[in-house]
Amino acid sequence: MVVACVGFGGSASPLFSFSSRMVNLKGCSKECFLSGCRGRGPLSPELTRDALSMRETLMRRRVQFLRTQSEAARAAESGEQQPTAIVSRRDSLVVSRTRRLGCSASPHLPPRPCSSSAQTTGPAHRLERWKSHLESRPSCVAGGAGQSLTPECTDSSACLPSRYAAVRTRSYSQLRTPLFSPASASTPGAYARICPPFTVPFASREEEKKVLMTLHAVQQYDDDTKLSLKVFHLQELAQTSMTFSQLSLDERFLRLLRDIHANAKDLSPAQLQALAVSCRELNLNGADIMWKTVARHIVRLTKSPSAPVSGITFSQVAHAMSCFASKKAEVQRHLRHMLKYILQGSRRLNEHDIVCVLYTLRRYNCNATETDGRSDWPYLRCLRLCASIVESRLADFHPRFLVYIIYEFALTGVVPWRLVYRSNNLIKQSVHRLSDKELALYVLASSKYCLLDTQLLKRIGRRLSDDALNFQFSNASLSMLLYGFASMNFREKNLIKLCCERIQKAACTLEEITVAQLAYALGRLGVREEATWKALAKAAADCMDCMSPAEISSTVHAAGKVGFADERLFSAVVEHATKLQVAFNTQQLLNLLDGLALAGFFHQQLYQTLLDNFVQSGGEDDIRGVNQLRRVMFTILLEFSSFLENVPQSIQLLAEQHQQPFLEHQHQPYHPELKACFEEMDFDASVLSSKGAYTFDAKIKIGPNAGSPKKTVALDLLSEGNYCPISGELLGVARLKRRHMKILGWKYVDVRRKTWLKLRTREERCNALRDAITTQILC
């Protein structure tokens, strides 16, 4: 909520006083006009409609002059006599009897260019004169006769003359306005514009006009200018894409801030709120003195006896607190007073105020971990107050605010279970009223609470199945939704299919964090779609240099969990993981090694580097990833046995210490039925056998038949989590087991446990086992 505080009393606004500054344009060059006229009180010519029409006239005359010049050059080559009176290139661009903007002399600006209208000299004398003129200018270099005399286009302020930077000019019309064509220009002729002293282009021409006009109005301030107008101008600047770091390059903006800061005690509550919002939008540093000034005066207003009635409102204080929290402003001393004031309005807070208070408490880490809450009693009381208000007025709140409230509670670590369950029932009935972002936030909050409501998740999936609503979900919302579903281990096929289609179509537009989130979610859900993973691997390889160690390890581990191997992805991983080797922690090192081992990718130097860092960081003492470490070591010994010959002794000892089984099967209720089926089929089988580091549901010995040798088969009844929900293929762990059994000389057979147990008779189960063995082994 942006509050506009404007006062138009007294004198007229200086925004509309530029028309009286128009003077004669005679003698002004094209460069002077296009880059801004030089003089006291300058104003950008693009602020007036007349100036824009002048530019078009000048550009048309320049094209006519170039055509005349080319004709003169052809005449010189043919030996014809040149005219004695020739109009110079600069003076040919002068429009007579027109008006220009402030061209009076200034000691801080370059001298005004020559303003004579015609020269009665020959071509040679004219060329030498222009060469000497160019050599006297520091921003140009004299060239040949065919060199352009107009300023070159630039895309940064580094090419501006040094004297401009030295004087720190306070007007944009005094400097050249370089233009450059951005790579992302979507329409022909689109361009971005840099107006010094700014170093980044404006987002649009409207934004450029808005910023320059506002700064020009600031330049016209006098002692009678109202403070409300200054706050309004700051709001106007804050609504643009320009941040404080860019606007502070202009002295007029700093003057505006100084004026507001010096008179902050005279600001009304609404103006203080608007000032806090503007500072947040300008991305002001949290240590800036402006934050403390605003907070101090808000606290001063809250201490007034008439504050709850006719002074500053509770909503204004809550909104200002959220602005402080967004930048983590150093106002903790004033924050306690604001929270005490909020406690006085327990029944006057609306849903937006509650969200602001919870957001502030979370950002400042005000979650009281002690049960008594003596040290942080205002924070704990505020949390209880927010929970009680929401619970008492639950039916009056919009579902979107309930989502934000539950999400803030989840991030804070406070679990008001009664409120959570009641809100879940209301949100379940209002899924169609929530946006994609709100659905994603609620799913994430539910995953943090470990609250698995299958009916709610299925309703979200049915909404995603509507083709008319699919395009409304952004990439970030889809990735967060999939991440939340994966955290709860819930496979929603509609969501998975939609995400796979979005990845295949727009993988190049995904950010680094989105790529890592999607990879993690697909790996945890066991989605193995070749086209989807190829597009995701290409996007990850392209942005690998911008990914953090956590994102790299998560992406590789997810690819290994589904058994996907991509040479381009792993080549990029080898390059960047070697550079960032010391940045990985022990769990990230294990995830990276485990993913590479599951995918069957081996690189001698990378494995040795990662294992050496793992040993040096003391990772072998952490038992959380012991199964991963055993799987990596068994894979190295079985598939890359030559690796241990040229590694340090510490890695060899690590491999010897972790050779225990890492996949053990416990006795299950279906094992007696499995044994009875094998006895009925007259198979030489045993239940719960092992080979190496693996344990199987059954071991079957098949005798020689029709010339085929004797075979040993390892059979597993696998859960649905070992199969892709879309393609039905085996995933990474089962693929690794099959690969290892092949190296050991065994055959591996997998049977879907859920499908097998659904069969009603033993005969049907025996036929299912026989068909699986025949299909996967004998055929």
Inform me whether the pLDDT recorded for 25 exceeds 60: no
Task: Decide: 15 and 216 in contact? Cβ < 8 Å.
Answer: yes
- Give CA–CA dist 723/562, Å, rounded: 9
- Give CA–CA dist 681/684, Å, rounded: 9
State the DSSP string of 153-193: P-SSGGGS-HHHHHHT-S-GGGS---EE--TT--STT--EE
**Mean pLDDT value across residues 467-471:** 64
Task: Decide: 696 and 678 in contact? Cβ < 8 Å.
Answer: no
Task: Decide: 253 and 247 in contact? Cβ < 8 Å.
Answer: yes
Helix axes 251-262, 227-238, angle to 10 degrees: 130
Poorest-pLDDT segment among 91-100, 188-197, 467-476: 91-100
Provide the mean pLDDT of the chain. Answer: 77
Task: Decide: 457 and 428 in contact? Cβ < 8 Å.
Answer: no
What is the pLDDT confidence band of residue 377, given thresholds at 50, 70 and 90? low
CA proximity to 699, closest of 662, 744, 754: 744
pLDDT of residue 4: 44
State the DSSP string of 242-257: --HHHHTTSHHHHHHH
What is the pLDDT confidence band of residue 584, given thresholds at 50, 70 and 90? very high
pTM of the model: 0.71
Domain boundaries along the sequence of the chain: 18-72+86-135, 671-778
Poorest-pLDDT segment among 40-49, 537-546, 767-776: 40-49
pLDDT of residue 621: 65
pLDDT of residue 231: 96
Poorest-pLDDT segment among 41-45, 70-74, 260-264: 41-45
Per-residue pLDDT tens digits for 301-319: 998 877 766 689 999 999 9
Inform me whether the pLDDT recorded for 141 exceeds 60: no
The number of helices, as runs of H, and strands, as runs of E, in the chain is: 34, 8
Task: Read off the tokens for 443.
Answer: 């799913």
What is the pLDDT confidence band of residue 88, given thresholds at 50, 70 and 90? very low
Provide the CA 334 distance to its chain's centre, in angstroms: 32
CA proximity to 602, closest of 570, 644, 627, 634: 570
Task: Read off the tokens for 723.
Answer: 């199969």
**Mean pLDDT value across residues 626-646:** 90
pLDDT of residue 401: 95
Percent of the residues in the chain that have a pLDDT greater than 70, as a whole number: 71
Task: Decide: 347 and 308 in contact? Cβ < 8 Å.
Answer: no
The one-letter amino acid code at 758 reads: K
CA proximity to 715, closest of 745, 732, 738: 738
Taking CA atoms, 414 is separated from 196, 347, 438, in Å, by 50, 22, 20
CA proximity to 503, closest of 466, 531, 468: 531
- Give CA–CA dist 441/458, Å, rounded: 16
End-to-end CA distance of the chain: 70
For residue 401, give every residue at least 6 positions away whose Cβ sits within 8 Å of its Cβ, in sequence order, or none.
Answer: 351, 352, 354, 355
Task: Read off the tokens for 343.
Answer: 């406690």
Other Cβ atoms closer than 10 A to 702: 18
Helix (H, G, I), strand (E, B) or coil at 776: helix
CA proximity to 294, closest of 312, 307, 276, 280: 276
pLDDT of residue 369: 52
Per-residue pLDDT tens digits for 702-726: 877 655 678 899 999 999 999 999 9
Instruction: Give burial (CB, 10 Å; 0-12/13-18/19+) of 118.
Output: exposed
- Looking at domain 671-778, which of 3.40.50.2000, 3.30.360.10, 3.40.50.720, 3.40.960.10 is its CATH number? 3.40.960.10
Furthest-apart CA atoms within the chain: distance in Å:
117
CA proximity to 257, closest of 234, 277, 285: 234
Percent of the residues in the chain that have a pLDDT greater than 90, as a whole number: 51
Provide the CA 348 distance to its chain's centre, in angstroms: 36
b/e code 31-47 from CB counts within 10 Å (16+ = b):
bbbbbbbbbeebbbbbb
What is the pLDDT confidence band of residue 379, given thresholds at 50, 70 and 90? confident
CA proximity to 541, closest of 551, 550, 531: 551
- Give CA–CA dist 624/436, Å, rounded: 36
Inform me whether the pLDDT recorded for 331 exceeds 50: yes
**Mean pLDDT value across residues 501-508:** 91
Task: Read off the tokens for 250.
Answer: 């202009």
pLDDT of residue 469: 64
